[in-house]
Structure 1
Amino acid sequence: MKTVSSIVENYIKTKPFLLSALSQGIINLTSLSRNMMIELDSEFGKEVKQGAIVMALKRLSVDLDFRLNHKIVKVLKNLGEITVRSSLSDYAFAVSDTIFNNQVELISEINNYSEIFYTSSRGVSETNIIVSESVGHLVDKYFANEKLIQKLDNLASITVKLPNDNVVIPGIYYFIFQRLAWEGIIINEVISTSNEFTILVSEEVVDVAFRVIKDLKSL
């Protein structure tokens, strides 16, 4: 059975930025309820009173605040080391029968260089290789016969170590990426392990992105 509370919650959940603003208590609930009435009337099948919508929003705000303050913030306050690397290139190649062997040869030669950034990920149809620009010529050498889908230069990486309990708390990545989106940060790549993630952004915005992530510790 549909209730006003369930319809209001479903409405809010489909709008991420609205959800965030509601959890921070920075929205006028009366104005919001007025804007929601037409859509909610249609969903509920009859007229919904504005007061009922406001009450549902208030209860939802309290619940969201509880989830945020008692779970996500605890993890964010315990974020570990944040490492920034600049002058990176991101290559995207189509998956092929030879690409793995070429990658092995690339890694073997890169091992002869000191302080070089290298990471890769493979999807269903493409493989990404991210390296320091100084060894870009090696990628060009070993992947000369591979199909290059895209190459991006002048990138920077931000690597963040997460506390171990991040894997049992829902919403950690959502909250971090939401904050970056609020600042207009475009994320070119995301690479993650169980307790660590790396984002790749333009060097032009890396300082802003670093500040956003660092400030999460002081929520």
Structure 2
Amino acid sequence: MKTVSECVEEILLTQPFLEEALARRIINFSALAEELREPISDMLRKPIKTGAVMMALRRYNPPNNLRHSNKLKTVLKNLGDITVRSNLVDYTFQNSSTLMISHSKMISSIETNVFYGFSRGTHESNLVISASQKQKIEKHFTSEHLIGLQENLCAISIGLPEINTKIPGLYYQIFKRFAWEGISLYEVISTTNEFSVLVEDHMVEKAFSAIKKLSYKS
């Protein structure tokens, strides 16, 4: 049978923002204990006192705060160039036996200096490209099933140090910053040492500012 401490841990692990606030001691233990008392009582199927939850919260030992990891701080302070590309279009196609043929024809016809990204999933594929190439896309993919189309997008690309793949929590910090700023991401494109996010035009300045904050507030 679960204990109160195990229930507290289970809840906190599903709410990283709450866990971080608890680790930084910037949260009211009494108020949080009262908030968690009912869901924990439901999990244990018996009444639980607020004091027992508060004791479990005070005893909770969260993982080392990734925000203050020396390696993570170094990476965040040494992010590479940040570039912005505007006027992009995102196409979502249903995967088919001919999709890659259409894709190869398109690749041979587009200009070399345009923004371009392609990712293939189990059931669908995404193509992000400069709006100037729309006619070529529509020509070569005319026989494919278009699931979604989004115009007026911007891509913000960030250069990452080569050690980024060895640093736990790096992407968490990036996504957390966007979440805290209330920024919705339309698409994410990642290579080994580069990370790009697609946002709608009206969010680009806010998203750019959020990324800049990563380096000087880490």
Q: TM-score range by the shorter chain?
A: 0.7 to 0.9
Does 2:101 match 1:101?
A: yes
Q: CA deviation at 1:68?
A: 2.7
Report the TM-score, using the length of structure 2 for normalisation.
Answer: 0.86
Paired residues of 2:19 and 2:62 also in contact (CA < 8 A): no
1:162-208 deviation digits (Å, cap 9, x = unpaired): 23333233332223212212222111111112232211110100111
Does 2:11 match 1:11?
A: yes
Paired residues of 2:88 and 2:154 also in contact (CA < 8 A): yes
| C-alpha distance in structure 1 between counterparts of 2:18 and 2:167, whole Å | 21
Unaligned runs of 5+ in 1: none
Q: Which residue of 2 aligns with 1:196?
A: 194
Segment of structure 1 superposing worse, 189-198 or 37-46: 37-46
1:125-144 deviation digits (Å, cap 9, x = unpaired): 11111111111111011111
Select the residue among 171, 174, 193 that pairs with 1:173: 171
Unaligned runs of 5+ in 2: none
Q: CA deviation at 1:102?
A: 1.6
| C-alpha distance in structure 1 between counterparts of 2:79 and 2:3, whole Å | 39
Q: CA deviation at 1:20?
A: 4.0
Paired residues of 2:154 and 2:201 also in contact (CA < 8 A): yes
Runs of 4+ in 1 over 4 A off after TM superposition: 44-49
Amino acid at match of 2:100: F
Q: CA deviation at 1:47?
A: 5.4
Q: Which residue of 2 aligns with 1:68?
A: 67
Percent identity reads: 44
Q: CA deviation at 1:51?
A: 4.1
Paired residues of 1:88 and 1:132 also in contact (CA < 8 A): yes
Paired residues of 2:21 and 2:27 also in contact (CA < 8 A): yes
Select the residue among 113, 126, 133 that pairs with 1:128: 126
Paired residues of 1:85 and 1:156 also in contact (CA < 8 A): yes
Does 2:180 match 1:182?
A: yes
SS of alignment partner, residue 188 of structure 2: strand
Segment of structure 1 superposing worse, 147-156 or 163-172: 163-172
Paired residues of 2:67 and 2:173 also in contact (CA < 8 A): no
SS of alignment partner, residue 106 of structure 2: helix
Does 2:155 match 1:157?
A: yes
Paired residues of 1:90 and 1:128 also in contact (CA < 8 A): yes
Amino acid at match of 2:189: I
| C-alpha distance in structure 2 between counterparts of 1:117 and 1:160, whole Å | 14
| C-alpha distance in structure 1 between counterparts of 2:92 and 2:175, whole Å | 22
| C-alpha distance in structure 2 between counterparts of 1:65 and 1:29, whole Å | 20
SS of alignment partner, residue 96 of structure 2: coil
Q: CA deviation at 1:85?
A: 0.8
Q: CA deviation at 1:24?
A: 4.5
Segment of structure 1 superposing worse, 43-52 or 117-126: 43-52
| C-alpha distance in structure 2 between counterparts of 1:74 and 1:2, whole Å | 40
